[in-house]
Structure formats: structure tokens, C-alpha cells
A and B are shown apart, each in its own frame.
Chain A
Amino acid sequence: MSAPQTAIDKLWSSHEIAHREDGAALLFVDRHYVHEGSFLAFDQVRKRRRTVAEPALTFGIADHYVPTRGRERPIADRSIAAMVDKLETNTAEHAISLFGLGDARQGIVHVVGPEQGLTLPGLLIVCGDSHTSTHGAFGAYAFGIGASEVAHVLMTQTLWQKKPRRMRATVNGKAAPGIAAKDIALSLIARIGADGARGHAVEFAGSAITALSMEGRMTLCNMTIEAGGRCGLVAPDAVTFAYLKGRPFAPQGAAFDRAVEAWSELGSDPDAVFDREVALDAAAIAPAVTWGTTPEDALPIDASVPDPAREADPARAKYLRDALDYMGIAPGKKLTSIAIDRIFIGSCTNARIEDLRAAAAVIAGHKSKVPGLVSPGSSMVKRQAEEEGLDRIFRDAGLEWAESGCSMCVGINGDIVPPGERCASTTNRNFRGRQGPGARTHLMSPAMVAAAAVTGHLTDVRQLLGDRKVEG
């Protein structure tokens, strides 16, 4: 009998073509997603006069630079238009399918891949975007890569990698009402640090994880990179299979049933050993928000921001002073007394239908105290939200209902938070200048962003919930 294996081991070995003495393995890539930013890699392919090895396993998606206010061509900003044009030219030249600007299926790559059934359990998935870890929610081995690696995959459909160590993050227990996958993710990152999972692939396990919907699992795996882990995953189960059944690019009919049989074997064996284990108690998790300039600066909403004067370590005290200064927050201030200037609901982290429902449930019947933008994760999510009347709830609250794209999460399509303004955001990074030069970002769940919109300051959503039901 062979030794018990983790899901990470099983996924790794099923893709290993060869390995070298120094520990590098050549892995086969099942899905490769490219976006506007992949132009640097296509330039490398061109420079070497090569072709794309497997165009049928490569999919282009326009998301990073697409405008969210109107879809008329040409795009007014010529430098942005050029980025969208380059993706169209590059995918056409190499016969790669494209979910482009005018496509009803367009959206953020990490929303569209799963939605279309391109992302499946047991696959190795890469994309030139660090949030590719999202696809691990399906029991895929998915990670972000840089332009040289994108070029290598385009030319060979393979990638040289060193096997990461294996970490298991176990979350058992029942989360309280109003607690979302985002709260689990931020609590975990606060606990282990923004580099706590560095060098590791992470399997999320435990009753609070299996209780999550696919949307929640995607949020959690998405944020693995914010803990420093390139790859995060959840073993596939009935929830996964129910999500995938009937998706356009997923196996159909009897082939789907046979696939489910194979996918059911992908989970970690009962006695499998991990290099590192961390555990959280779901019942102890409170709604989390960030106060500083890295996702590890997350605290429960009823806490106060740190006071550098009470910090013994001088380097840490300096970090706290700099972060509070950038964020414009007085030391020791209560989180709930921090007023916001705007909100953003969007991004590959939290803009799926369940996220929009969770935010709408909190904001319904209220006016937002601040301006804000809601950009659905995909054009399909947008249409579904409109069928459910969610767009009206956001519009009636005074928020802007926009098209789908990366939008204000990375701010390169023109959607930015003005300098010095404070934004309650469902996104993944509160880095300095991430949402625009000088922008101040507070990360939180969609329901928490909606609560902040209702009151105009950071707010414990549980106090607004009453008997309203919120998921996500």
C-alpha cells in the first residue's frame, strides 16, 4: 500500500512529466488564462518566433483594463484601448478563444473560468495573475505566474516548478450569522501574517470550510496569496459537483458522472501528513476589517487600531506610525469611529452573485451615506443580479451600478479612489496606492461594506442585521 497522500501531492504527481535532480519538476498545464496584461508574454513568443503549443487549452479574458461605465468602442483613453486591442490581436493571431469586451460571458478571469466550467477539479491552472489561487476552490492546483512563465506555458504548455511545502488550515465549528468567507480569510491572514503561507500550498479543511458555498470557497482560496501562499485549495465535494453540473465547458451527461467519480478521489487521505497545520475556531471569528497597508493588518470590527506608543519593538512601532500616517488614522482610534468617503463592491475576491446578494440584503431600503461603485464579477453575474432586482437596490441606495472588470481593485481602467479618500472595499489588497495614488483602503466582506455605506463609517454589520438574512 502506498503512503497516505494529501490532495496537494495527488494533484502534483498527476501533472509531473519529469523531474530534475535539483528538485524542479516539469508540470503539464491543463488551463491557461490570459488577459490584457499578458502582452509582455506574447511579445516574448513573437521575439522567439514561436507558436502557442495548445491554443485549445488557452483562454483569453478581457478584465484588467476594461471600462466599467459603458462599453462603446473605441475606448476613449487610447492607452487603455491599446491594451484591450492587444489582447484581441494576440488571441486572434494564435487562435485562442477570447471572452472579449463585447462578449456576454466577459468578466473577471477568476469569476468567468469557474462560471463557464473551464475550471474543474483535478486540473492544473495558471494565469499571469496572483489571484489565480481562486480556482483551487474546486480542488484544482492553481497559481499565479509572471510574464516569463506565461510565455513558457504559451510555447510549451508546461512549467518548471519546485514543489511547495504543504500546509493545512483547518476551520471547524459554526460561524455566527453575518460572518463571511472574507472574515475567515482576513482572520487567518492576521494570525499567520502576509507571508505566513510563503513557500506553501494550502489546503483549507474543516466543517466551517465544507459548509461554505462555492462562492465562499473561491473568496477564501483567492485570499491565499495575501497570506503569501501561491496556491490554496478545497477538496471537491457534492457542493463542487452541483456547481459544475451543466456548465458549458464542463463534461456533460455520462462523462460528467464519470468525472465526478474520479474527482471524488482527489481529497487528502485520512492519515496524510502536512508540513504545517494551523487551526481556527469558526465560532470565535468576528467581522474583520483592515486598518493598515497590508492585509495582515486585520482586526475584529469591535477593536481599536494599534498605538505605536505602546509597541515595545521599535521597528514594529515605526511600521505602525507609517501605516497610520498613510491611512490618516489617529493611534488607538476605535475602528467603528472611522468615517469613510466611498465604497467599492467588486473584484475577483467578492463580486459573485452571493456577494451581491449579501450586500444588497444589508443596504435594501437604505440610502448610502457616501458615493460608491458596484462592479459585478462578470457580465453573467450582472445579468443575474438584474433579474433578481439587486441592481435596483444598489441604485435606489444611490450607488453606481457598472459593467464587469477588475475596476477599482487595481485602478488601471480609470476607476480609482481619489488621493486621500477612504474606501470601504470588498477587494483583496489594502497596499499603499493600490486603488489609486494616495488612496486609503479598508478591506472587508460585502455585507460589511454595505453596512459602512448605510452608516458612513466602519460598522459591525451584525448590529444592522436584525432579522435580515445575510449570506456570503
Chain B
Amino acid sequence: MDKFVRLVAKACPLLLANVDTDQILPARFLKLPRSAELGRVLFQDLRRDGDGNERADFPLNQPQWRDAKVLIAGRNFGGGSSREAAVYALYEAGIRCVIAPSFGDIFAQNSVKNGLLTAVLAEADVAELAAAIAADPDMPVTVDLEQQTIARGNRSFAFSIDPVSRNQLLNGWDDVDLTDSYATRIAAFKAADRGRRPWARPARS
């Protein structure tokens, strides 16, 4: 997977609470394979009206934020369905980092697996950052995962992320390769477990 170390990019405020994965990618698009098409339907029903026309008041439709790589969101961003395609849609649309006071647990995990940083920032800091960006949309933010900071101009905010996710993003670890290196321990676990929990396997198959 792609590493995430440092990013300098424009940030788009989308200060809605509880933007669930159904809003990020409506279920009717879940039949699509992973492709650029997913990026085009990101936030489809928030972004476009019933006739498919863009809503002028949706931030990502505004010229200054069309090329934003960072989203600044409200609390509980990405709650709900486990659909990883919601992360693919963000990634395909060019988003590499979402900053919010909190994230849905499954969404946050799916993001890490795809090199997308979910940076947890205190509610007051999110509000301050979003207000500053609204006043001057063209000034980029610098997201530094090693330092765990988001800087803009001479203002810097510390964000949090759990150490496991931070490690994986910084190193671009591939989980399957990593797990393969534990093959002996997995085999030993399975052998011991059969005796410990004889009831755990299905009675028939």
C-alpha cells in the first residue's frame, strides 16, 4: 500500500456531523469494481441533485476546493456501513487525508489499509482550522504524520492517531506479507487450539 508521511495540499471544510459511509458512497454504487468511476460518484447525493446537476453550495463543487486533497469534517465521519469502497471513492477523488474530531472505527481501519490518513483533531481546533481556510482557501495545509501536526501559516495543531495505524501508514506495510512472516506461530496456535477448544470447528461442513 501507499505510504503516508507528509502532505502539503489544499483542505476543504465539510463541517457536517455524522457523514456516514452511505453519504460518502451510496449503496447503489457498490457493484462497481475499484476504478476511477468511484471518485466521480463520491458524495453523489450530497454533491448533486436528483437530476445529476451539481449543488453550488456543496464545498467540493466550489472552484477553490475542487483539487483539495484534505477534507475537514465533523464528528463521527465515516460511521455506519463497513463498505471499503467509501475509502476507494475518497482516494480516487484525490483525497489523501481526512481531519475530524472522530471517525467510525471500521472506516478508520479501512482508510489505513489504503494509505488514507484519518487525523483526529479536537472539535475546537477543527472549527478554528475550518474558519481560517474559509477566509483564505488557497493557503495549503501541511500534514506531517511523523510529527502528528497539521500546520497552516504560522499556526500548528497537534492531531492524534493510534500508534498501530501511524506505524502502518508511515511504513506502508503490507498486512499479508507481515502475517506470512508469522506462519510458524499461526501453525502452532492452530495445533494447540484444537485441543483447547475442540468445539470451535463446525460439527459438519
Q: Which residues of A contact B (CB under 8 A)?
A: 14, 17-18, 20, 22-24, 26, 28, 30-31, 37, 40, 43, 48, 50, 56-57, 79-80, 82-83, 97, 117-118, 120, 122-123, 128-130, 144-149, 151-152, 155-158, 160, 162, 164, 193-195, 198-199, 225, 228-230, 248-252, 255-256, 258-259, 262-263, 293-294, 296, 315, 319, 410-412, 419, 429, 431-434, 437-438
**A37-B22 CB under 8 A given contacts A120-B200, A146-B87:** no
Q: Is the CB of B84 within 8 A of A156?
A: no
The answer to whether B109 and A149 touch across the interface, beta carbons within 8 angstroms, is yes
A31 to B202, CA, bound (A): 9
With A155-B176, A156-B179 as contacts: A22 and B105 at CB distance below 8 Å: no
Query: A162 with B176: in contact, given A17-B186, A57-B201, A146-B87 (CB under 8 Å)?
Result: no
Q: How many residues of B contact A (CB 8 A)?
A: 60
* Bound-complex Cα distance A254 to B59 (A): 64
Cβ-defined contact, A437 with B26, below 8 A: yes
Q: Are A433 and B200 in contact (CB under 8 A)?
A: no
Q: Are the CB atoms of A432 and B167 closer together than 8 Å?
A: no
The answer to whether residues A431 and B105 also contact, given A24-B164, A128-B82, A144-B82 and a CB cut-off of 8 A, is no
Taking the closest CB of chain B, its distance from the CB of A92, in whole angstroms, is 15
A250 CA to B201 CA, complexed, in Å? 9
Query: How many angstroms from the CA of A79 to the CA of B29 in the assembled complex?
Result: 11
Contact for A195 among B45, B76, B113, CB less than 8 A: B76
Closest to A28 in B: B189
B205 an interface residue at 8 Å Cβ cutoff? yes
Binding site for A on B (CB under 8 A): 15-18, 20, 22-23, 26-28, 30-31, 33-34, 45, 50, 75-76, 79-85, 87, 102-106, 109-110, 113-114, 162-164, 167, 175-176, 178-180, 182, 185-186, 189-190, 193, 196-205
On whether the beta carbons of A43 and B33 are closer than 8 Å, the reply is: yes
- Bound-state CA distance A24–B84 (Å) is 21
A198 and B50 in contact, given A130-B82, A146-B84 (Cβ under 8 angstroms): no
Give the distance to chain B from A416, nearest Cβ to Cβ, in Å.
9
A437:B45 contact, CB within 8 angstroms: yes
Q: How far is the CA of A20 from the CA of B179 in the complex (A)?
A: 12
CB neighbours of B190 from chain A (8 A): 28
> How many cross-chain pairs have Cβ atoms below 8 Å apart between A and B?
191
| Given A146-B87, A158-B179; A228-B79 close (CB under 8 Å) | yes
Q: Cβ of A146 and Cβ of B105 under 8 Å apart?
A: no
Name, among B186, B190, B197, B203, the residue most crowded by chain A CB atoms within 10 Å (CB to CB).
B203
Q: From B113, B162, B198, give the contact of A146 (CB < 8 A).
A: B113
Contact of B76 among A40, A160, A228 (CB under 8 A): A228
Assess whether A18 is in contact with B45, with CB atoms less than 8 Å apart: no
CA distance A291 to B174 in the complex (A): 43
Do A431 and B163 have beta carbons less than 8 Å apart? no
Measured in the bound complex, the distance between the Cα atoms of B109 and A275 in whole Å is 22
Determine if B84 and A294 form an interchain contact, defined as CB atoms under 8 angstroms apart: no
Contact status A195-B102, CB under 8 Å: yes
A-B contact pairs, 28 of them (CB 8 A): A17-B186, A18-B185, A26-B179, A26-B182, A26-B185, A31-B202, A48-B176, A97-B205, A117-B203, A118-B202, A147-B84, A147-B110, A148-B84, A160-B179, A194-B79, A195-B18, A198-B102, A229-B105, A230-B105, A250-B203, A259-B199, A294-B18, A410-B81, A419-B50, A433-B26, A433-B45, A434-B22, A437-B28
**A152 pairs with B176, CB closer than 8 A:** yes
Question: Other than the known A18-B182, A194-B18, A433-B23, what 8 A-B pairs have Cβ atoms closer than 8 Å?
Answer: A17-B186, A28-B189, A37-B83, A82-B31, A144-B82, A156-B179, A228-B79, A315-B15
A43's nearest neighbour on chain B, judged by CB, is B33
9 closest Cβ pairs, A-B complex? A146-B84, A259-B199, A146-B110, A148-B113, A195-B76, A147-B84, A144-B82, A130-B82, A24-B164
Q: For A28, list chain B residues within 8 Å (CB).
A: 186, 189-190, 193
- Asked if A432 contacts B45 (CB within 8 A), the reply is yes
Q: How far is the CA of A158 from the CA of B188 in the complex (A)?
A: 13
Alpha-carbon separation in the docked complex, A80 to B84 (Å): 19
